[in-house]
A and B are shown apart, each in its own frame.
Chain A
Amino acid sequence: MQRYLISRILQSFLLLLGVVVLVFFMVRLTGDPARLMVPRDATQEQVDNFREAMGFNRPVYVQFFDFFLGIFRGDLGDSLNFRQPALELILERLPGTIQLAVTAMALAIVIAIPLGIIGGINPGSLIDSIGRSVGLIGQVIPNFWLALILILIFAVHLGWFPSFGRDSLSSVVLPAVALGVATMGQLVRLTRSAVLEIRNEDYIRTARSKGLTRAAIAARHVFRNASIALISVIGVSFTYLLGGSVYIETIFSWPGLGNLLDQAIRARDFPLVQAIAIFIAGFAILMSLATDIMYGLVDPRIRYGR
């Protein structure tokens, strides 16, 4: 397990390094980052002054090392628009996005997994049909459209939930549902097929011949083996949720990282865009590492090597 852990941590670190390089150079793809960040009607002189002030005149590798070393000091650049250090802004908005992503994930898990398990154990039943419909709907409906429809029905017509802001406890409901539906759909399908597969495995037959009740089999064998596949998907879904938050937060005016990214892009505030992209990617890598560690804990085959 230790070797697995160390190699995964090393991998994550390299990946993070790669991401920083990638994002850094993405922003400089057009060749002149200064042009990218100034208003379109700026004069040539203003552009040149800007370029000088931001240090874009220096050789690229100098800029990069400067930026990279800055990361260790907690300096991810400064936002042009807000005139604040980017990291400050990011940390301010981070709790909002986490709350949204966690709520969406929790909602998805709580609804999808029971549906999937019951559907897998009783294929063809009513609950199975419900589960499979949820699975299909989740895959087919665009979440930003769903967000608008939810606002239309539940906020405008019924008035049950607020349609913007993060003021009350009920504010998180609509955004979380909109964000989580796709993941819900995926999880239902995955759980169902995992359960169906596992049911036919030999160890289940052994358990039944030992006389275990269906509940005990479900809890002890089915669930533990299904959770291996589930953990991977949940890890990947979290990355997806982080991305999806860009639209959902914008639609609901939810103060989070996604919203900040959208604002930064509209304001052509690329230092901030760069910082957010690196931060979100770093966070995703961290989550992926955490998922793999959990994976290692749950699956003994990984823990004890091949």
Chain B
Amino acid sequence: MAEATPTTTLDDLYEEPTWGSRLAYVGRLLLQDKSGILGVTLFVLIVITAVFAPAIAPHDPLDQNLGVAKQPPAYQEGGSWEYPLGTDNLGRDMLSRIIYGTRVSLTVGFFGVLIAATLGMVGGLLAGYLGGRVDTVIMGGVNLILAIPYLVLVVVLAAILGRSLFIVILIFGVTDSPIFARVTRGEVLRIRESGYVESAVSIGARTSRIIFDHIFPNLIGPLVTLATFEMSAMIFYEAGLSFLGLSVPPTVPSWGNMLTDGRKFLNIYPWIAIYPGIAIAITALAFNLLGDWLRDVLDPRLRRSRN
């Protein structure tokens, strides 16, 4: 039986990527990109700070101690290392408050984006996939919300609905969903045009299968990248709302609240305003760098050149 069997088949040449090899690839990508390293590192540090705040903070952020009030940071005259970044007008430790402020910011950012992404993705999917009148109605709503300057919209809603973390998260979640809807719809339309969907339908695939196998994988990249940038934006806006007195109550240590206090004492105790702002900037930097790096990693054009 002399059969001419080829010694190597295609199956031998193609190796299905395992999660381990994917992780290694991502790791290699990360090490090549300096700003990506910075972004990821900062991001991880910030998350750790938020989660382990009680362990890291030297003092209780709510602890008012008028005896040490208005103390400058340690490197200035009159400061001490017990309160490294100074104290505010009520004698609360600035460093501890900034550390705890991480929690508010990350909570708002994370849950706000979660709500926005979910709402937006569902809306975008429906609009893009079903088209027609559904599309018109959904995109009409999207354009309507986007027509009002974001801050005005958020400020008016916050003024009406009240001051609480939950309400702020809800407001951000709803008002930011149009952006996710638009991006999702764009991707869905693009994929619809590309022929995958047509061929899947022609072989009789169920709608849900089409959505899960073809549309979702292509959505993840743009949406994750968008989510990172929107988280950064929400942190800004939460701080802004706090600054206008419309976000969390003044007892909760949020960076925006601290800036409000700081503004009153700008000439005499400037450190109360300076450090929270730096914290916001560093956090925004981390998210932006992370987002840029994610965008490069998740770019489908790069995905094809894997292995």
A interface vs B, CB < 8 Å? 15, 18-19, 22-23, 26-27, 29-30, 36, 136, 139-142, 144-146, 148-149, 151-152, 156, 239-240, 242-244, 246-247, 250-251, 261-262, 265-266, 268, 270, 273, 276-277, 280-281, 284-285, 288
Contact = CB atoms under 8 A, between A and B. Distances in A.
Given A15-B143, A15-B147, A281-B149, A246 B155 contact: yes
A247 B245 CA distance: 11
Given A246-B152, A261-B152, A273 B284 contact: no
6 contacts: A30-B161, A142-B240, A144-B259, A145-B259, A149-B274, A247-B240
B274 A280 contact: no
A185 to B, nearest CB: 10
A302 B98 CA distance: 51
B124 interface: no
A144 B243 contact: yes
Contact of B270 (A140, A152, A270): A152
A281 B155 contact: no
B239 interface: yes
A18 B140 contact: yes
Contact of A247 (B140, B147, B244): B244
A239 B149 contact: yes
Query: Interface centre among A23, A141, A285, by most B CB within 10 Å?
Result: A141
A29 B263 contact: no
B146 to A, nearest CB: 9
B181 to A, nearest CB: 16
Dominant secondary structure of chain B at its interface with chain A: helix
B281 interface: yes
B156 interface: yes
A149 B271 CA distance: 10
A29 B240 contact: no
Nearest to B286: A140
Interface string B222-266: 000000000000001001100111100000000000010011001
Contacts of B177: none
B122 interface: no
A96 B140 CA distance: 32
B147 A285 contact: yes
Contacts of B244: 246-247, 250, 262, 265
Given A15-B147, A144-B243, 6 more contacts: A141-B277, A262-B244, A265-B246, A273-B156, A280-B148, A281-B152
Contact of B151 (A30, A149, A243): A243
A187 B16 CA distance: 43
Interface in B141-195: 143-145, 147-153, 155-157, 159-161
A239 to B, nearest CB: 5
Nearest to B148: A281
Nearest to B263: A148
B149 A148 contact: no
B266 A152 contact: yes
